[in-house]
Structure formats: structure tokens, C-alpha cells
Structure 1
Amino acid sequence: MATTLNLHGVSYIYEGAPEPLFDGVEASLPQGWTALLGDNGCGKTTLARIVCGALTPTRGAVNPSPSTLVAAYCEQECAHEPANLDELRDDWSPEAIALRDTLGIGDDWPYRFATLSGGERKRLQVACALHGAPDLLVLDEPTNHVDAGTRDAIAAAMRAYRGIGVLVSHDVELIDATCTQCLMFVRRHMGGRNRTVLERYAGGYTKAHRTRELRCAETDDELKAAQRKRRALESARDGRRAMMDAAAARKHGGHLIDRHDHDARNTHKWNEKQADKASAAAYRALGSRLEAARREAEAIETDAKRYDGDILVDITPSARRQIAHAESGILRFDGAAPDDGCVAVCELTVDGARWHTQAIDGMGAVTQGGRGIRVPHLSVGPRDHIGIDGANGTGKSTLVRALLKSVDDMVPTLTIGQIPDADAHARLLARLHGLGADDKAHVLSMLAQLNDDPDRLMRGEEPSPGQAQKLALCCGLLSGPQLIVLDEPTNHLDLHSKQALARFLRGYPGALVVVSHERWFLDEACGAGM
């Protein structure tokens, strides 16, 4: 089995695109885990698919060829059953049992994939990817949908893997726990244009990020020094120009010499001629040095500018005292009305605007009758920001469905779920291109504030899952929703996009219900200390 995979001059350009998504990528992927990082839409998934042989690069090569290896790719979305689900289900070897135990997979899960929560589906998907111990494995956002305990379980399973692993993720804790190097796609600015480059850093995310910040600070200092040098030369050249102008004025003053004093007039002419030559030579030398200084400054690459402004929306909160509600009792996981056979295996605790779901001790083995979550009376006001967290499978999605069912049809509502349907991306692009000029400009402006590149979408490129998530929000905001419901909105988003989204949600004037496993995000979007 190969212990290192090498990328030589790898480039990829989508059909009809004016420039490559990335160009001339050089990288080595050793045994163990390498994190592949970057903003949404920068090409992480494309490069990952090239690495495992699912895509052919436009230029360049991968050595050894992925076709000579047993390669597996675990995609971001978990809407469909993994291709080798039956193999895992029927394998009761000690290794397969250990893998199930590590990831906490129930024996019945392979038989009811469609009824599993997003986090449960993701665990089963990761288990199928690890099953069979492939030579080369790509995990694309494996901790989307999952809680902290499941993240730890996935990290443990990853550490037991002995092949070449590529992790596409924005999960800092997972990267720190598993990866020995980070490859970062970054947008760099040089000579008036931006380009995407791949930078390598040793260690997990925390170490890599610290190293990169130091490198960027050194580059900024280098650029500032080059700019100071250029300004000093510009000042010296302007001073020399002034001296030349003064010399010219003195030269014209030669008529003050007695016209019969030929020796004085000849001396004056000779001195001025020499001064002209010296000044012109000095001026030309300064011009050459200034041009060299300008080229030096333009050759220094710096990070491309990010947009850190606010998303502006004209939304008036509802005049209703209550936007959504749920009566106290048991909400069935299958969505049916409660009956005498329904058993509460989970419960909801409410602490102000923070709602937490959890399993009830001793109820995990209940298999007869309906299963559900016990809730107190719940009410969402027109300006309330509610953050919901809890372990996978404890009823968060069930709770959200119940709240949405209670919302009056007259209340404008924007709902974005955690698992989009197969045609969602195509519909979003069609909606974007069908907007009027003003609405389209507003959507593109909002996308830019969420750390995205609107030009790529306008060129018709297929949006990444993270871009699609942001596009769904921006298009939905055009309708002026008085209630926004987001189920795991940070799935697929890069770190800068998460921060920008949290900042917007905190200032959103209407009612907000957010489900997330990222506590910092709920604190920022719904208010800390809840």
C-alpha cells in the first residue's frame, strides 16, 4: 500500500468558467490525516474528489494513480443510503462490531436509514466509509449534524485508521484531534488581482492558524516597509525635480552677466551644462529605483480583502403576541398524534431562551409503541431568539416540526432544514437568475457579507453545499420573514461564514429558532448566558 500520495501541478477548470477553480496545486499527502481547509466554494471538495479518483484534473497528475488504490469517499450530504450499507449490516466480524461500538451505531439503524436523525445518518455514513479499511479515504464534513459525543467517537474511529486520509472540514476540534498537517486554500492579492493558492502548515488547525497568522503579519510588515521605501523614493524624486527646475531658472538668469564679459558667460554656461547632466542622471537613477520599488511592492502577496459589513434587511416583527407554540405533553418522533402507547424517552428542559433536549435515563431500550419527547408548554414571541441544542436522536427536529405546525399561514416564515432535497441547488440557482435587477443585487450583496464570492454563482457554477445554504437564506430574506427557523445552519459553512451568519442573526429583529450543536454559535445568535 502506498504511504504517500503526491499532487503535481494539479489544476481544474469547470466547463465554461473563465478561469481555473485552482491552478498548479503541489502537495504531498502522507499516511495519516491531512485537513483540507478553505472558504465555501474555493474547491476543497473538487480537489478531494480528484485525490480519490472521482474526478480527472484538467492538468497535472496524482501519483500513484488513485485507480491503483482502494479509495473511498464519504460525501457531505447524508440524504441517501451509503452504497456499501448492506456490507456493513451483514458483517459481524470483530472489526465491524468494534467500529459499530466506537460510533454508537444501533443494530437496527441499517434497516431504517430513512427514519434516522441527521446525526445518526452521519455516524452510519462514516462507519460505511471506514468499513473495509480503504488505502485512501476522504471524509467530507463528517461532523455535520453530529453532537459533541459523536464528534469524539468519529475522531476515535479516524485515529484507528491506518491509510492515507483527507479530511475536508471546518470543525476545529476534530482537526486538532486527528490531523498532522493542514492544506489551506486561501485567496491572495498581488499586482491588482486575486488568485487562489494552496498553503501547507504542520499540525492541527490551532497550530496551523497560529503559524499562518505569524506569516501574514510578516508579509504585512514586508509590504509596509516596501511601501515606505517607495514613498521615500517618490519624495526624493520630487525633490530632485524641484532642484532641476531651480537650475533651469538660474540658467535663464545668465542675462544678468555683462555681455562683454566673455569669460564669465562661458564659465556660467559650462557650470550649468554640468549641473544639467548631473541632475538628469540623478533623476533618471531615482526613477529606476522607484520603478524597482513599485515592482517589489506589487510582488508581495497579501490576503484578499474580506467583507465584514452588516446584512441590511427591512423586516418588521409580527404584531402577534405569540408566533409559535406547543402544548405540554409528549411529541411523537414519527409526527403522529400522541396516544396511550406513546412513551417519552427524551425530555426538553427550558432555561430562558436556551432549550435543551436530553434522553431520559433508563428509557433507551423502549421498543414497543410510539417514542417521543416530553415538553412543557412552549411559546415563541415575535422578537424571541430561541437556541435549541441536545444530543443526536433526542427530538430536536421533532420539536421544530411541532412549532412550525402551529404557525399561522399569515406569518411570513423562512425555514431551512439540515438535509436539502435532491433538486434544491438547481431551484436556488433558477430563483437567483430569475430575480429582478434590484432584488438580485441585494441578494448578491448579502452573499458577499456572508464571506462568499457572488461572481461564481452568477457564472452559473454549481454551488457548494455551504454556498447553497447561504443562498437559501439570502433569497428567503427577500420575502421579509417574521420568523426564521434554521436546523443546523452551520453545517457546511466555513469559519468566517459562521461568524458572519451569527452576527446577522443576533441583530435580526424578528422571531428566530435555531438548532445547533455549536454552543458558541447559539450564544452569539441568540444571546450568551441564557
Structure 2
Amino acid sequence: MGHSTIVFDAITFSYPALCSPVFDHLSATVPEGWTGVVGGNGTGKTTLLKLATGTLAVDSGHVMAPEHAVYCRQDTDRMPDDLEDMLVSGDKAAGRLVSELEIGYDWPYRWESLSHGERKRAQVGTALWKQPRLLAVDEPTNHLDARARGLLFNALKAFDGIGLLVSHDRELLDSLCDRCLFMDPPVVRMRPGSYSQGREQSELEEQSAEKERETSGRALKKLRQEAARRRDRASRAHARRSKRGVDAKDHDTKAKIDLCRVSGKDGADGRALKRLAGRIRQAHETHRNTRVVKRYDTGIWLPENRSKRDLLFHVPGGTMALSPDKGLSFPDLGMGPSGRVGVTGDNGTGKSSLIRYVLARTQLPEERVFFLPQETDPDQALRIVQKVRSLPEEELGRIMTLVRRLGSPPASLMDTRQPSPGELRKLAIAMGIVKHPHFIVMDEPTNHLDLPSVTCLEEALATCSCALLVVSHDHRFLERIAMTRWHLTPVEGEDGDVALGVSGFS
């Protein structure tokens, strides 16, 4: 049976290792065209894509979606099962995708040597070749240089089915999506238009909700104060109606009390108090139901740490092998205790290989170097989580404070056996910072991070005192944090060889 929409009907889903459900009676409808799925790290974006494509099954409720669905994973460790079939198929669709995404026919035989960006192009190309009615793509622009991002955008733009896109790439969301599903559990809300338009509307709604809650809070406080005054007056009225303590022969006083009891004059405050109680209950319900999104104070810091060494590393000029038939030539490379280098270049030019080559020649103690790799495999992720959980309470507290200030609730992070890639990224950054490093080396550090976290990291690195060596395709990010640029470019006339040039950032 075909479907032209995805319908999530009161779905509930939990991972076995979690104490609370990821989704609890969530309902939403997704039409044809591209829909962005946006939200902070750990809000269930990837889980929603897997439920939509049948990769995961709901605990309760129903998902109605096209049967022919493909989920394009966030990681690129595994080669797509159908990559070889696509390359040898000889059909027009395969030829067009191979050409548009510049996929190499030898890639299946050297998958391990491909850059993550090349793997991502192969992954997306294979998914499109299957011609699904529902395509769910998870963070497709991670690892991609500007040129490859353009190739990917054109390929995704041509897809005419139901598209779900998880991305922290604002430009891609704005250019590709007709609507965005904003995820902020327990609330999920579809907003028409681009991500930027939806974000603006979301901020206006949050501001309105905050004002409404403040107003209802003041009204509730005023009613409670009035109730306290009425209770005091009713208590005094009750005392006046009592004959206790009145002299048995004081007939005038007794007569006045009897008159008050008959007329009910002194009971008016008591009756008014009962009416006021109803208004207080109503005001309390209004205040309680006015939902204001809880936002964590964000912003991290790096402690003042600078090595006393004059030189952190020195690599004499030469050539390093990238593959049996491909080399990277470079001039003399060195860095002092406050050096700040950004590494740029197209996918496949050897940026990750270069920084690992440099790391192996660094003259600092291991504990003074913080290296953030481009990706973390599942086994490494599990070891990181287990290590954090075994830390002394004081050190664990420092790490969790940094995670919170990167925008993720520490409790939910510690509640799961396998954090999302974005949460794991934040955890790794926090663990590196508490080491008080003298040298920070990062390979595509903004991959998987939500947008507020990227800003936090950028600001922290821009003001830190230690040395930096950072690979990134985000040119604006590098301009903020680096002073020197190592740019890798293919050598003209040489088949596959690459050269490193040194310059400043403009």
C-alpha cells in the first residue's frame, strides 16, 4: 500500500537502557517534499528517522509510511551494501548519480582509505539510486567541503518523494526544506517555511509564552495575597461570633452576637474566601499549563594554559604517503606554545592524515595534548561513557557542568548506554578541556554539534591561550579561531599528489 505522507499516530518509543521514553504519544504528519527535522542533541531526531523508515519499531501507536523507505546513516564507517551493485548496474540513474556526486568506480575496493566526505557522497548516491518513496538522511553535510556540499544539494534537490533531513547545516535546511519539524520534547511542532523562518517563529512563541507565564504568575500571587487577607478577616469574624469568654450576665454583647449570626454579616468574608479559592485554582491551572521551554545557560571556557616549551613540534619539509600512488608534500612545519593553525582543503586531500602525522611528532607529554578525532566508532563511544561513569565525583561534576553549558542535560546523557553522536562529541570535548591541555588538535570539531554548541565552542577556542591545530570545512569558524592557514591542494599535472601551502586567514 502506498502512502503520500508519513503519519506518526500517538507513538511511544523507549530504548531498553533508558529510564524515560524518547517519545510519549507523539503525533505528527509529514507530507511530500523535504522536511527538516531540527532540535538539540539528544532530542530524538535520529530515532524519529529510524522509526519512519522501519529501522526501529514503536512500542505503541502507529507509523504509516511508504514501504519503500531508505535510511541514510549519520556515520560512514560501513560501506553501503548496494554500492558495488550501483556501480556495475550500467543503468542511466546510476551513471547520472556517479557523475553528479563524482563517485569513483574503485571506491568499493579502497573504502578504508576514502575520506569521510567521499564516503558520504557514496552513501547518499547509493540511497538515491534505490529510488525510495521515503528517504531519511541524517547529517549529510558532515565532513563535506563546499564543493561537495553543492554536489550533494543538487542531488537531494532532484528527489521527488518524501524527504526527512536531519542537519545542523542552516544553509542546507533553508535551501532544501519546505517545512521543519522542531523537536523539543515533550513538544514536537511542524512549522512551514525554511528553518530560519521557523526558528524566528519559535523564538516569538517562546517570548510570548514567557510573558504569559509572568502575567499569570503575578495574577496568581495577587489572588493568594488576597486570600490570605480574607482568611485573616474571616478568622477575626469567627472570633466575634463566638460567645466564649463573654460574661454570662452580659446580655447586650450576647444579643449583638446573635444578631450577627442571624444576619450573616460577619460570614461574608468566609463565603468570599470560598469563591476566591475557585479563582485561585483556575489561575494556578492557567499558570501551570503555560509551557516555557527550559534553556540552559551556555558558554564554556578554557583554563589559562600555555606550554613553557618554545616549540611544540617541528616537522622538516618533505613528503608523506597518503596511499601507494599518492603523496602529500609540505614545507618545514612548526608551532610555538600559542600557535593557532586552521587546516583546509577538499575532501580526500589528506587533512586527517596530516594532523595525525604531526601528532606523532609532538614533543609534549600525552596528558597535555587533547585530540578530538573526526568520528568515534561505537566501541570507542562505549569506552568513553564507561570511563566517565567511573570518574571520581568531583571530576565527573566538572565534566557534566561543561556538557550542560554546551546545551545537553547531564542527567539524560548519563541515563543512556549509547549517547547520540552530538552528545558524545560534547562529552569528548568536556573530557579534553578538564585535562588543561597545552595543545588542542581537532578534526572537524563542529560535526554533529547543534548550532548553539558550535557558537560556544567557537567562542571558547577564540579566547583560549593554548596552541590550536584544527581541521574544518567551516571557513567562518576557522577565521574566528586561527591565525595561520595550512591549505592542501592537488598538484596540477600530478595524478593524485597534494601540496601544502602556508598563509594567513583573510
Q: 1:107-146 alignment to 2 at 5 Å?
A: 107-146=105-144
Moved more, 473-482 or 412-421: 473-482
Partner of 2:489: none
Partner of 2:333: 378
Describe the SS at the equivalent of 2:136.
Answer: strand
How far off its partner does 1:420 sit?
A: 2.4
Task: Tell me how far apart the structure 2 counterparts of residues 56 and 139 of structure 1 sit (CA, whole Å).
Answer: 18
Task: Tell me how far apart the structure 2 counterparts of residues 310 and 433 of structure 1 sit (CA, whole Å).
Answer: 21
Describe the SS at the equivalent of 1:443.
Answer: helix
Does residue 324 in structure 1 map to residue 280 in structure 2? no
Task: Tell me how far apart the structure 1 counterparts of residues 59 and 316 of structure 2 sit (CA, whole Å).
Answer: 58
Gaps of 5+ in 2: 485-504
Deviations 1:175-233 (A, max 9, x none): 1111112112104xxxxxxxx22111112211111121122222122212211211221
How far off its partner does 1:140 sit?
A: 0.8
Q: Residue type matched to 1:467 in 2?
A: E
Q: Residue type matched to 1:405 in 2?
A: A
Describe the SS at the equivalent of 1:476.
Answer: helix
How far off its partner does 1:293 sit?
A: 0.7
Task: Tell me how far apart the structure 2 counterparts of residues 269 and 310 of structure 1 sit (CA, whole Å).
Answer: 72
1:71–1:136 CA contact under 8 A, matched in 2: yes
Q: Residue type matched to 2:298 in 1?
A: D
2:36–2:173 CA contact under 8 A, matched in 1: yes
1:418–1:489 CA contact under 8 A, matched in 2: yes
CA spacing shift, 1:277–1:511, aligned 2, 3 Å? same
How far off its partner does 1:327 sit?
A: 3.4
Deviations 1:398-424 (A, max 9, x none): 331232132015252111211323411
Task: Tell me how far apart the structure 2 counterparts of residues 44 and 78 of structure 1 sit (CA, whole Å).
Answer: 18
Partner of 1:212: 202
Does residue 163 in structure 1 map to residue 161 in structure 2? yes
Does residue 229 in structure 1 map to residue 219 in structure 2? yes
1:32–1:163 CA contact under 8 A, matched in 2: yes
Does residue 457 in structure 1 map to residue 447 in structure 2? no
TM-score scaled to structure 2, two decimals?
0.87
Partner of 1:296: 286
Partner of 2:501: none
How far off its partner does 1:112 sit?
A: 2.3
CA spacing shift, 1:314–1:214, aligned 2, 3 Å? closer
Task: Tell me how far apart the structure 2 counterparts of residues 524 and 198 of structure 1 sit (CA, whole Å).
Answer: 34
Gaps of 5+ in 1: 188-195, 337-368
Task: Tell me how far apart the structure 2 counterparts of residues 116 and 228 of structure 1 sit (CA, whole Å).
Answer: 61
Does residue 38 in structure 1 map to residue 39 in structure 2? yes
Deviations 1:99-126 (A, max 9, x none): 1222232343343222211211111111
Does residue 503 in structure 1 map to residue 459 in structure 2? yes
Task: Tell me how far apart the structure 1 counterparts of residues 124 and 156 of structure 2 sit (CA, whole Å).
Answer: 9
How far off its partner does 1:287 sit?
A: 2.5
Partner of 2:477: 521
Task: Tell me how far apart the structure 2 counterparts of residues 72 and 387 of structure 1 sit (CA, whole Å).
Answer: 36
How far off its partner does 1:62 sit?
A: 1.1
Partner of 2:498: none
1:444–1:454 CA contact under 8 A, matched in 2: yes
Task: Tell me how far apart the structure 2 counterparts of residues 507 and 113 of structure 1 sit (CA, whole Å).
Answer: 38
Task: Tell me how far apart the structure 2 counterparts of residues 479 and 268 of structure 1 sit (CA, whole Å).
Answer: 79
Q: Residue type matched to 2:170 in 1?
A: V
1:254–1:268 CA contact under 8 A, matched in 2: no
Q: 1:443-454 alignment to 2 at 5 Å?
A: 443-454=399-410
Task: Tell me how far apart the structure 1 counterparts of residues 89 and 315 of structure 2 sit (CA, whole Å).
Answer: 43
Partner of 1:58: 59
Partner of 2:490: none
Q: 2:265 aligns with which of 272, 275, 283?
A: 275
CA spacing shift, 1:423–1:525, aligned 2, 3 Å? same
Deviations 1:286-345 (A, max 9, x none): 22212221121011111123132534x6563210122134334544434x8xxxxxxxxx
Partner of 2:497: none
Task: Tell me how far apart the structure 2 counterparts of residues 471 and 431 of structure 1 sit (CA, whole Å).
Answer: 11
Q: 1:419-430 alignment to 2 at 5 Å?
A: 419-430=375-386
Partner of 2:488: none
Q: 2:445 aligns with which of 484, 489, 509?
A: 489
Task: Tell me how far apart the structure 1 counterparts of residues 265 and 346 of structure 2 sit (CA, whole Å).
Answer: 84
Partner of 2:22: 21
Task: Tell me how far apart the structure 2 counterparts of residues 5 and 252 of structure 1 sit (CA, whole Å).
Answer: 70
Q: 1:336-415 alignment to 2 at 5 Å?
A: 369-373=325-329, 375-410=330-365, 412-415=368-371
2:243–2:254 CA contact under 8 A, matched in 1: no
Task: Tell me how far apart the structure 1 counterparts of residues 237 and 482 of structure 2 sit (CA, whole Å).
Answer: 71
Task: Tell me how far apart the structure 2 counterparts of residues 260 and 410 of structure 1 sit (CA, whole Å).
Answer: 97
Deviations 1:152-195 (A, max 9, x none): 221111111122211111111111111112112104xxxxxxxx
Task: Tell me how far apart the structure 1 counterparts of residues 10 and 131 of structure 2 sit (CA, whole Å).
Answer: 29
Q: 1:32-111 alignment to 2 at 5 Å?
A: 32-64=33-65, 69-111=67-109
Task: Tell me how far apart the structure 1 counterparts of residues 306 and 115 of structure 2 sit (CA, whole Å).
Answer: 32
Partner of 1:341: none
1:13–1:19 CA contact under 8 A, matched in 2: yes
Describe the SS at the equivalent of 1:112.
Answer: helix
Q: Residue type matched to 2:89 in 1?
A: D
How far off its partner does 1:488 sit?
A: 0.6
2:341–2:483 CA contact under 8 A, matched in 1: no
CA spacing shift, 1:383–1:252, aligned 2, 3 Å? farther
Q: Residue type matched to 1:270 in 2?
A: L
> Could you say what the CA RMSD is over the residues aligned between the two structures, in angstroms?
2.9
Q: 2:174 aligns with which of 165, 173, 176?
A: 176
Q: Residue type matched to 2:103 in 1?
A: I
Task: Tell me how far apart the structure 1 counterparts of residues 299 and 439 of structure 2 sit (CA, whole Å).
Answer: 23
Describe the SS at the equivalent of 1:423.
Answer: helix
How far off its partner does 1:91 sit?
A: 2.8
Task: Tell me how far apart the structure 2 counterparts of residues 222 and 32 of structure 1 sit (CA, whole Å).
Answer: 35
Deviations 1:338-361 (A, max 9, x none): xxxxxxxxxxxxxxxxxxxxxxxx
How far off its partner does 1:428 sit?
A: 0.8
Deviations 1:219-270 (A, max 9, x none): 122212211211221233244345446657888999999x8884x8735753
How far off its partner does 1:46 sit?
A: 1.4
Task: Tell me how far apart the structure 2 counterparts of residues 212 and 7 of structure 1 sit (CA, whole Å).
Answer: 22
Describe the SS at the equivalent of 1:295.
Answer: helix
CA spacing shift, 1:460–1:27, aligned 2, 3 Å? closer
Partner of 1:355: none
1:22–1:197 CA contact under 8 A, matched in 2: no
Describe the SS at the equivalent of 1:284.
Answer: helix
Task: Tell me how far apart the structure 2 counterparts of residues 238 and 182 of structure 1 sit (CA, whole Å).
Answer: 48
Task: Tell me how far apart the structure 1 counterparts of residues 242 and 51 of structure 2 sit (CA, whole Å).
Answer: 73
1:506–1:527 CA contact under 8 A, matched in 2: no
Q: 1:469 aligns with which of 403, 425, 436?
A: 425
How far off its partner does 1:86 sit?
A: 0.5
2:237–2:267 CA contact under 8 A, matched in 1: no
Deviations 1:332-391 (A, max 9, x none): 434x8xxxxxxxxxxxxxxxxxxxxxxxxxxxxxxxx53324x44333221233222333
Q: Residue type matched to 2:435 in 1?
A: S
